[in-house]
Amino acid sequence: MTLKEELNAYVKKTHDAAWVKREGQKVPSADDVTLGTDAVTLQATVLYADLSDSTALVKGWESWFAAEIYKNYLYCASRIIKAQGGVITAFDGDRIMAVYLGKSKNTSAVKTGLKITWAVTNVLQPALLAKYPKTKFKYSQKVGIDTSPLFVAKTGVRGSNDLVWVGNAANNAAKLAALNQGHSTYITGNIYKYIHESAKFGSDPKKNMWTDLGSADFGYQIYGSSWLSGV
């Protein structure tokens, strides 16, 4: 069979086969889903944490310096995600995707975003300046969060494959993590509507941590916050 014939056969088989769906009770790993038309459905919250301006970092600083920035940011963000009950599903260069399940998934994800901002301000930047007091580099990062049903399937070829997360939450969280409207954490109206008051208001119950940014060009409500939540 030629490569062209193999590709045609695979694509036709995918379109012809019926999906075998099952409702997930946990975040699946790659081993939990087959390469066929097997899929797991979830009601989940997705978080993207993204180190901003990484292109300028790589171009403007030594490779070893950029690697230190990457390592420290990804480590701190990963530890906070796991401490808040999130499951890391992918690393993509300088950003992380995580999924949260359960009744408090929205609140847990939001607190993760606020805690990552705290870590950048109170751990990462001070440590960087302590080691390199003359550096002009300043950490900048964004977190995007949304919730929706997800359809999880495996894509790729045997030996080289990964899960694909299909749903509004995955797309929206990634887009929000790329926003630049003066805040470090961005959430959708669906998240804001359901988070606990501890993730919505500061110590003063009248002080809302979130700014209503309207629907912009996205077609759905967006809120932004630059508040910090200590770890």
For residue 19, give the DSSP letter. P
**Could you list the pLDDT tens digit for every one of the 231 residues in the chain?**
899 999 999 899 999 999 899 998 899 988 899 888 889 999 999 999 999 877 888 888 899 999 999 999 999 999 999 999 999 999 988 899 999 999 999 999 999 999 999 999 999 999 999 999 999 999 999 999 999 999 999 988 888 888 999 999 999 999 999 998 899 999 999 999 999 998 998 776 678 999 999 986 778 999 999 988 866
9 close to 1: Cβ distance less than 8 angstroms: yes
d(CA 73, CA 124): 7
The domains of the chain, with CATH numbers, are: 34-225 (3.30.70.1230)
Model confidence, pTM: 0.93
Q: What tokens appear for 230 in the block?
A: 């200590």
d(CA 95, CA 174): 9
Sign of CA dihedral 198, 200, 204, 210: positive
